[in-house]
Amino acid sequence: MAVNKKRSSRTGRDDRFIPRRLNILFGLVILLFTILIARLADMQIVNSDFYTNKLATVSKKIISTSSVRGQIYDAKGTPLVENRVEQVVAFTRSNKISAQEMKEIANKLLQWVGVSEVDLSKRDKADYYLADQEVYRSVVEGLPDDKRYDADGNNLSESIVYSNAVDSLTDEQLVYSEEESKAIELFTQMNAAAYFETVNLVTNALTAEQVAQIAAHEEELPGISTTNSWNREVLSTSLGSIIGTVTSQKAGLPEEDAEEYLAKGYLPNDRVGTAYLEKQYEEVLQGQREKKEINLDRNGNVESITTIQEGSKGNNIKLTIDLAFQDGVNAILKRHFDSELATGSALYSDGIYAVALEPSTGAVLAMSGYSHAKGTGEVKEDALGTITSVFVPGSIVKGATISAGWENGVIQGNQVVLDEPIQFAGSAPIKSWYAAYGNYSISATDALEFSSNVYMVKIALGLLGQSYTPGMYLNDGEVLEQAMSKLRTTFGEYGLGSATGIDLPLESTGFLPEDYSAANFITNAFGQFDNYTPMQMAQYAATVANGGTRISPHLVEGIYGNNDQGGLGELIETVTGKEMNKVNISAEEMALVQQGFYQVVNGSGSLITGRSIGIGAAVPISAKTGTAETFVTTSSGSVVEAVNTNIVAYAPSTNPKIAVAVVLPTLTNLNSSTSKTIVTEIINLYHSLYPMN
């Protein structure tokens, strides 16, 4: 049966194909509309927040500006630092300004400001050179093709091309005069600012006339204004060295800490504390940043500027140290050290140091010191040496050694031990200093009062699992390591060889050699091997004084707001020492340590070691003396015997208010009692300022 096909009379094409193609076309249109509707739904419903935020990011910008830094005061509110306010040139970078315009502004600005600090890199000079658009275009045109296009002939990104242009410049092209270098310095600072960011340009201090000239020519200097800025000035006090430093705006964030600060919302050119108190309390002292929201139209023009957070001066910190007491301690140390220098006894000494703490709170009452250039008369104030310099402590550690005996079951209570010459195989005998009086049976408290080396040696032997027999050999190897670990663990409970927890960075934890012999272990039991800082020794004294709780020393008493004049305001937060640990002995055993310390000064026996400390004392003092033997090499090359004369003490003996450590190392006068006198004078001075009765 034949099929009739209807064809177009004009084209001879089958007309039935037309509706089919129209249907396909309509289907494609419907599909595209469906995709468009789905996309709109995704943007407006599913991912609405994402696109809203993205639009906001394009159309608005948040600008953050730092505020004036908080101040630091002593315990009585005496300022230790100042923010010296001065007028400076400020530059606010718009989103429309070009590099060439900034170059022109920098050169014009030099007519009215001086620039002394010029520190330019090759990149700084290159950026200035290429800021001229015609110069940049010429340099790019002269680049090889592979520095402008990729392998497929497409243009490289502008940033890569610019980097290649910088690399192509020769040293000869970047030679500038002294005056031009000043312009480059200003341009570099301006070029480093982000869009809408305001930066203070580093120039010489502005005079009133210069400020007036800049204001008069502001139309020629778009973005330029004058404003108040501040420079941190550490006042000349005996606490100057513990304050630390603050970076300049030009230096900005320290490279090693930049990532951490940027994550906290700081800007690259923000001034921050770089050491000691300024660094430790950075987030307290750093003011609240002013934040402004800048809204832009579709062409990038500014529509509005809104302040969303007011800036405010940083909070202040007040220290636990009263300058009057600190200065008094300094004067005591300096006077006595000068006296020892005059006699020649301290000619090869490292210096002299003293720390005073409040035993119940850990508050630092004084941290004083002087370093000495050996063999000379040069003496420098060195308060930081109390946490950074280490010394052999001598017999002051004996309270901790006895505690190690109790903790490890070597002795019980106020156990009596025979003090006798100790003779190990192949070594010189170890004797207590009073051995000429014969053998003594002494208790733990007597061992502290008389400063018995032998009592400590027998405890050390017990830690090694040995009892004393003349001519014996000492255990070695793993047993020795375990014994040293036990001894050092107990010492650490008192703060000896442990981080004290003081609110200052970079404190030393002492010097505890990893390599040692059995002989070193034995002498460590009476303080003749490991080295500690004066602050660690003071924490040890405070721990004994308060009954066995080790509290972290702290220099800051509280965080304060600002009054109407920007000075010390109301208390915001009290800072206290933290409990680090408790010494792992009973209250009865700690009372024996305290009794031993009391007997060192106040005992009735003829062999007590610290009686002179109590002579002239305003209140009863408990203490432990320490003498560590050492040697010095004189300028002539001869080796001379010397001693470290150290004292730890607290007062009053009942309900102590002050704990003190005095370190006077490397004296050639082996019988010096200077450190004992210093302890008494420090405690009497404190009592005169803060009566302890």
Q: What is the structure's pLDDT at 3?
A: 45
- Entry pTM: 0.81
What per-residue confidence (pLDDT) applies to 66?
66
Residue-level pLDDT at 314: 85
Q: Position of tokens 């778009």? A: 222
Q: Which residue has the tokens 């002292």?
A: 285
Residue range of the domain that includes 356: 323-548+583-689
Whether 408 is covered by a domain: the verdict is: yes
Q: Could you give the C-alpha distances from 170 to 98, 125, 148, 164, 175, in angstroms and in order?
A: 24, 11, 19, 12, 9
What is the per-residue pLDDT for 632?
84
From the candidates 238, 368, 389, 395, which is the catalytic residue?
Answer: 395
**304 has catalytic annotation:** no
257 assigned to some structural domain:
no
Query: What is the per-residue pLDDT across 603-627, written as a single tens digit (0 to 9) for each?
Result: 987 788 899 999 999 999 999 999 9
**Integer Cα distance of 233 and 267 in angstroms:** 22
pLDDT at 338: 95
Helices (H) and strands (E) counted in the chain, each on its own, are 23, 20
CATH number at residue 352: 3.40.710.10
**Integer Cα distance of 474 and 515 in angstroms:** 16
pLDDT of residue 2: 45
pLDDT at 213: 86
**pLDDT score of 328:** 97
Which residues lie below 8 Å from residue 656, measured CB to CB, with a gap of 6+?
A: 359, 360, 545, 546, 622, 650
Domain count, the chain: 1
- Which pLDDT does position 8 carry in this prediction? 47
Low-confidence stretches of the chain (pLDDT beneath 70) = 1-18, 20-21, 38-66, 289-292, 294, 296-305, 308-311, 433-438
In one letter, which amino acid is 589? E
Show the tokens assigned to 354. 């003293």
Cα separation, 312 vs 562, whole angstroms:
10
Query: What pLDDT is attached to residue 437?
Result: 62
Residue pair 104/163 in contact by the 8 Å Cβ criterion: no
Q: Is residue 684 part of a domain?
A: yes
Alpha-carbon distance 115 to 229, whole Å? 17
3-state secondary structure labels for all residues of 443-509: CHHHHHHHCCHHHHHHHHHHHCCCCCCCCECCCCCHHHHHHHHHHHHHHHHCCCCCCCCCCCCCCCC
